[in-house]
Amino acid sequence: MTKSTALAQAAAFSTAERDAVYKAIYTRRDVRDQFLSDPVADDLLRRLLDAAHHAPSVGFMQPWNFIVIREQDAREQVWRAFQQANDEAAEMFEGARRSTYRSLKLEGIRKAPVNICVTCDRTRGGEVVLGRTHNPSMDLYSTVCAIQNLWLAARAEGIGMGWVSIFRDADLRRILEIPDRIEIVGYLCLGHVDQLYENPELEVKGWNRRMDLDALIFDGKWQGDP
């Protein structure tokens, strides 16, 4: 392959294309309770997973797998595992913070028609992987990039997505029969939505606020906590 055929033209996006990318970024939301019951078409789900599969990965190792869960009984089992862990999590907060936590809807496991467990095979690529020689976590970071790709593609398609993180790892492994060598990175809920919060839900409900970007940018070296 010659150099001229190996490289593609790095043309800038048109204004409309660029604006669409930023729109997906700025209007992406962690969806929990706005899911509709409409099924997600197989071809649409395939496009979203293909977007995830085109994420960057260290050493081009592509360490991800996607376990697609549609069956109601399996989602019910996962929800029960979430609920037990969520009750434990609530007890870690005190006073008004605990009450606020209990009032939040933190998952859409049963409401979303599609759940996806995203995993990382840390043995893929062999013992020595280009780019992971000095930072063994790069495969995990690569898998998170795949999730972000999926999230932005879902937003562009009008599909809501929520990331559920409140689980005991062992419970998900048991329910989904995930071997010990495989790392669980994300459990996602996907479905059609007709409304999204204008701002992140946790900001709307007073849990936290978006930090000032200027306070997070340091020039040349670390300059203290924001």
pLDDT 10s digits, 91-125 = 999 999 999 999 999 999 999 999 999 999 999 99
Which residues are CB-contacts of 85 (< 8 A; sequence separation ≥ 6)?
Answer: 166, 167, 168, 171
Domain locations along the chain: 29-122+138-207
End-to-end Cα distance, the chain: 50
pTM comes to: 0.94
pLDDT band with cut points at 50, 70 and 90 for residue 181: very high
Summarize pLDDT for 182-195 with one digit per residue, the tens. Answer: 999 999 999 999 99
What are φ and ψ of residue 48, in 5° steps? Answer: -65, -45
In CATH, the number for domain 29-122+138-207 is 3.40.109.10
Residue 146 burial by CB count (10 A; 0-12/13-18/19+): exposed, middle or buried?
Answer: buried
Q: Reply yes or no on whether the pLDDT at 173 is more than 90.
A: yes
Decide if pLDDT at 1 tops 80. Answer: no
Is-contact 40 159, C-beta < 8 A?
Answer: yes
pLDDT tens-place string over residues 138-167: 999 999 999 999 999 999 999 999 999 999
